[in-house]
Chains A and B, each alone.
Chain A
Amino acid sequence: MTTKQKRLALILGGMGVLAAAVALVLTAFNQNLVFFFTPTQITSKEAPIGRVFRLGGMVETGSVKREGVNVSFRVTDTAQIVPVTYSGILPDLFKEGKGVVAQGTLGDDGVFRAKEVLAKHDENYMPPEAATAVERATKAREMASKTLKQ
């Protein structure tokens, strides 16, 4: 091996070892790198009880109830549901059927008391006309499946 090949091997080997070490560390810390817990994780008691954590999922359609500044809604990941209460101003993008991340604590009654509510945006970017078209198509599909079931 020439000096240059030795140096190249040393650098590539070092990078390989480093990558493996980082991979191990990240796997070990996987739980702590989670930005939010899903309703399924909360029902299966994976979330820390009595400590502040974040809950993430979709705002269930038809679940938002407002009384002044007090809001209550349910967060779903289509498998499980967690009820949430919050008092304060919601972000503009907070909508039923859209993503949400709430920070707070889980009470013994299973209700999540949020101190902060953030809207989570998805990766879809489209003009309003396209959005209406997508909505119409989804509704038509739902109607069709309902009709077929009857």
Chain B
Amino acid sequence: MARTEQQSNDKFAGRWFWRYAAPAAFYPLAGKIEKIGWVLAVVLAAIGLYMGFFVAPTDATQGEVYRVIFIHVPAAWMTMVIYLAMAFWAGTGLVLGTRLSFMMSHALAPTGAIMAVVALWTGSLWGRPTWGTYWVWDARITSTLILFFLYVGYMALSAAFDDKKKGDRASALIALVGAINVPIIYFSVKWWTTLHQGSSVRPGSSSMATTMLWAMLIMTFAFWAYCVAAAMHRLRTQIIEREAGAAWLDGATK
């Protein structure tokens, strides 16, 4: 084991990774990332919401109700991206046995669950006037609801163990197994007939008016910044909780 770490340390990228894998080293860096994240989130959300509500034109068929996409679409994207990140860090934790990877995974879960709720809730409010119903059991909506349950299951399982290490490993398996659901959500509108419309934005093309698209993309960056900041904040709390009593912590939190 020690020999492998030594070998990794010989490579430049490996050395960088291992240095910041130590909670003591990442704690101050996480603080900096968190601050930048909050500032970016506020500034981008202000620009994005202004563009979305005052610059972007009314939609030809839906009228004003379409403006929910400036919240709905970024939230739906984030809940999928965060789950993949969570699964990635859970897998990294299982393979390398790094404590910080598990903490990262735990720090992401609540934000991902919130994003799933926001996506489902705003979608439901949009569905009533547009489709004529708050809820249907089509593939896209059902698989997103399952993703929300996976987040909740992950958090519940990791909290159910008194031994944090056992909780880390057990919940990491849920995170990895559940990751299969993310491509299912993404491609559901393509593979099956659904009430939910197909993707308006695909790599390289979009079927939206330019200002609408820009407002939505700026809002997406705002959501990214918010999620990163929230995860970093939760990560720092986790580090303080788990490393309580460590000598470096007294100096870092003073």
Which residue numbers of A lie inside 8 Å of B, CB to CB? 2-4, 7-8, 11, 14-15, 18-19, 22, 26, 30, 33-38, 56, 90-95, 98, 101, 116-132
List residues of chain B with CB within 8 A of the CB of A91.
129-132
B138-155 vs A, CB cutoff 8 Å, 1 = contact: the mask equals: 110000000000000000
C-alpha spacing A126/B180, complex, angstroms: 34
**B208 located at the interface, meaning its Cβ lies under 8 Å from any Cβ of chain A in the complex:** yes
List residues of chain A with CB within 8 A of the CB of B91.
11
Please indicate which of the listed interface residues A95, A119, A130 has the most CB atoms of chain B within 10 Å of its own CB: A119
- Chain B residues touching A, range: 35 or more
C-alpha spacing A95/B61, complex, angstroms: 10
List residues of chain A with CB within 8 A of the CB of B199.
123
C-alpha spacing A91/B128, complex, angstroms: 9
**B198 located at the interface, meaning its Cβ lies under 8 Å from any Cβ of chain A in the complex:** yes
- The interface stretch among B36-44, B112-120, B187-195 is B187-195
Shortest C-beta distance, B36 to chain A (Å), equals 32
**B253 located at the interface, meaning its Cβ lies under 8 Å from any Cβ of chain A in the complex:** no
- By secondary structure, the B interface counts as loop
List residues of chain B with CB within 8 A of the CB of A22.
180, 184
A93 adjacent to B61 (CB under 8 Å):
yes
List residues of chain A with CB within 8 A of the CB of B179.
15
Contact partner, A118, options B57, B136, B200, Cβ 8 Å = B136
C-alpha spacing A120/B61, complex, angstroms: 12
15 pairs from A and B in contact (CB 8 Å cutoff): A2-B1, A4-B4, A22-B180, A30-B192, A35-B139, A36-B193, A92-B130, A93-B62, A93-B132, A118-B133, A125-B200, A126-B209, A127-B60, A131-B60, A131-B61
List residues of chain A with CB within 8 A of the CB of B212.
125
Closest chain B residue to A124, Cβ basis: B207
List residues of chain B with CB within 8 A of the CB of A33.
139, 191-192
A38 adjacent to B193 (CB under 8 Å):
yes
B131 adjacent to A125 (CB under 8 Å):
no
Given contacts A8-B95, A130-B209, contact A123 B1 (CB under 8 A): no
C-alpha spacing A112/B197, complex, angstroms: 23
